[in-house]
Amino acid sequence: MKASGRDVRPVAVLAPATCAKKDSHSVRRPPSHVVLGAEKGKNRPVTKNRVSARLSAIAESATLAVDAKAKALKAAGRPVIGFGAGEPDFPTPDYIVEAAIRAASDPVNHRYSPAAGLPVLREAISAKTKRDAGYDVPASQILVTNGGKQAVYQAFAAVVDEGDEVILPAPYWTTYPEAIALAGGVPVEVFAGPQQDYIPTVEQLEAARTERTKALLLCSPSNPTGAVWSPEQLEAVGNWALEHGVWVITDEIYEHLVYDDTPTGAILNLVPELADTTIVLNGVAKTFAMTGWRVGWMMGPSDVIKAATNLQSHLTSNVCNVAQRAAVAAVTGDLDAVDGMRRAFDRRRLIMVDMLSQIDGFSVPVPKGAFYAYPSVAGVLGKTIRGRTPQTSSELADLILDEVEVAVVPGEAFGPSGYLRLSYALSDDDLIEGVSRIQKLIAEAE
């Protein structure tokens, strides 16, 4: 390898700082000036591609980044209002927390447990699926994961080979393209705008299908748009996938957050023949206000679940037993607490949509599910506000944060520019204050 015109042999270079002398008790103590990764001077081994291409290509989660920025400003005493986080503001219901407290003091939960999940939880998820979605999944075809995110990654890893294409309706949740690419796949975006409620037609999906198409990602109710697919739309897309042998990976994590009695359904109920080529993703985070507990699951054909379990057995092993016991309480309990939260989200949804639609240049389809509004802000871009002229939704989001201390996630995190995502899972007072600030700021546009 050449560096500065000289041959450098990385293996032969040892940073002197690591050769600490033994002290009088023969205990090796690291010298206090060593900082991991800080040796950028002449002794640092010169290697190319220090970080692998696969990981270098991953962008930080934009939603977590916006949330972290808002929390940091808040911690510094700024009156920031954050619409970035995708999490309920409610505490986890008491009966779930109490189950976890009991579990933490039982030594049976202090040990490794089966990588695929506690049998009692897999059985409970099977029963819950029958209760809520109406179809049968044997416990053996359920894999409990560290949050829905691990299920997302493992689902792609289980069916995608290098170069396989995955059709991804856009706007999409920011993690999907990264998880597809990490698995070696190629995300193929199919954009559907607000005039079609952010739901693509079968014709649009078909236009994106090639010889390499392996799977389609479905997310209903949708993060980031709040769109909810109708039974007819699900059935049409399910039949298309079946006809062309396309796997369906369906993320149903917002299943209980549907408003206005919007008709919808589970694709497996509508097209049962898909059972052999469908993976269902779900978890307790959004439904039970359990984002921090990290329990999700994937369900699918035996061979896929077996393969994903093998992967997980090397990657993370079992999910924390205490969190799994809490999840048992969540999925076996009734849905009263969930219903209370859903009603609060519904009220906030209507307030938010009403306030956002009063902003000149914003256009907001009414979200039917999840807890996000996704206005198009195209009518504001190119206008001047306080001396700045945002041309993209990313620039507009920066302007809003800088000028009125309100954090929103720009459309660039979910596909094309020109949109903002605002979560309405925050208190009514904060919601009204935050959107009022945006209203006043955008009113200055000229």
291 near ligand PLP (CB under 6 A): yes
Distance CA 21, CA 31 (A): 9
Nearer to ligand PLP, 319 or 355 (CB): 319
173: contact with ligand PLP by CB under 6 A = yes
Q: Which is nearer to ligand PLP, 385 or 425 (CB)?
A: 425
To the nearest whole angstrom, how small is the minimum distance from the Cβ of residue 405 to ligand PLP? 24
Q: Should residue 198 be labelled a site residue for ligand PLP when binding is judged by CB under 6 A?
A: no
Measured at CB, which residue is nearest to ligand PLP? 147
Give the binding range for ligand PLP (CB under 6 A) out of 141-149, 155-163, 226-234, 419-427: 141-149
Q: According to the binding rule CB under 6 A, does residue 287 interact with ligand PLP? A: no
Identify the residue among 253, 331, 406, 445 touching ligand PLP (CB under 6 A): 253
Cα-based distances in Å from 413 to 120, 175, 258, 323: 38, 9, 24, 30
- What are the Cα distances from residue 322, in Å, to 110, 127, 328? 9, 20, 10
The least distance separating ligand PLP from the CB of residue 111, rounded to whole angstroms, comes to 24
Q: Is 434 in the site for ligand PLP (CB under 6 A)?
A: no
**Residue among 223, 277, 278, 324 that touches ligand PLP (CB under 6 A):** 223
Given the complex with ligand PLP, which of 175 and 321 has the nearer CB atom?
175
DSSP E strand boundaries for 343-428 = 372-373, 406-407, 409-410, 420-423
The answer to the question of residue 226 lying near ligand PLP (CB under 6 A) is no
219 or 338: CB nearest ligand PLP: 219
Radius of gyration of the chain from its Cα atoms, rounded to whole angstroms: 24
Residue in 89, 197, 251, 255 binding ligand PLP, rule: CB under 6 A = 251
Choose among 277, 260, 258: nearest CA to 268.
277
Q: Rounded to whole angstroms, how far apart are CA atoms 97 and 56?
A: 38
Stretch that binds ligand PLP, among 133-141, 143-151, 184-192, 423-431 (CB under 6 A): 143-151
Q: Is 285 in the site for ligand PLP (CB under 6 A)?
A: yes
Instruction: Please pick, from the candidates 148, 169, 194, 238, the single residue that binds ligand PLP as defined by CB under 6 A.
Output: 148
Please say which residue, 190 or 219, places its beta carbon nearer to ligand PLP: 219
- Work out whether 147 is an interface residue with ligand PLP (CB under 6 A): yes
Please, what's the b/e burial string for 2-24 (b: 16 or more CB within 10 A of its CB; e: otherwise)?
eeeeeeeeeeeeeeeeeeeeeee
Selected range binding ligand PLP among 49-57, 76-84, 144-152, 260-268, rule: CB under 6 A:
144-152
Contact status: 220 vs ligand PLP (CB under 6 A): no
Q: Is residue 97 packed enough to be buried (19+ CB in 10 Å), middle (13-18) or exposed (0-12)?
A: middle
Decide if residue 219 touches ligand PLP (CB under 6 A): yes
Residue 149 touches ligand PLP, criterion: CB under 6 A: yes
Q: Say what the alpha-carbon torsion angle 238, 134, 221, 242 is, to the nearest 10 degrees.
A: -10
- CA–CA distance, 420 with 379 (Å, rounded to integer): 12
For strands 406-407 and 81-82, give the pairing: parallel
Contact 192, 169 (CB under 8 A): yes
Shortest distance in whole angstroms from residue 249 CB to ligand PLP: 11
Cβ-based burial of 59 (10 A; exposed 0-12, middle 13-18, buried ≥19):
exposed
Residue 296 in the binding site for ligand PLP (CB under 6 A)? yes
Measured distance CA(441)–CA(317) in Å, rounded: 49
Site residue total, ligand PLP (CB under 6 A): 14
The secondary element (H helix, E strand) that includes residue 278 is strand 278-283
Q: Which residues contact 38 (CB under 8 A, 6 or more apart)?
A: none
Does position 421 interact with ligand PLP (CB under 6 A)? The reply is: no
Q: Which is nearer to ligand PLP, 223 or 278 (CB)?
A: 223
As a whole number of angstroms, the distance between CA 418 and CA 423 comes to 17
Q: At its nearest, how many Å lie between ligand PLP and the CB of residue 67?
A: 11
86 binds ligand PLP (CB under 6 A): yes
| CA angle, 87 then 89 then 90, to 5° | 115
Q: Does 66 bind ligand PLP (CB under 6 A)?
A: no
Q: Which residues bind ligand PLP (CB under 6 A)?
A: 86, 147-149, 152, 173, 219, 223, 251, 253, 283, 285, 291, 296
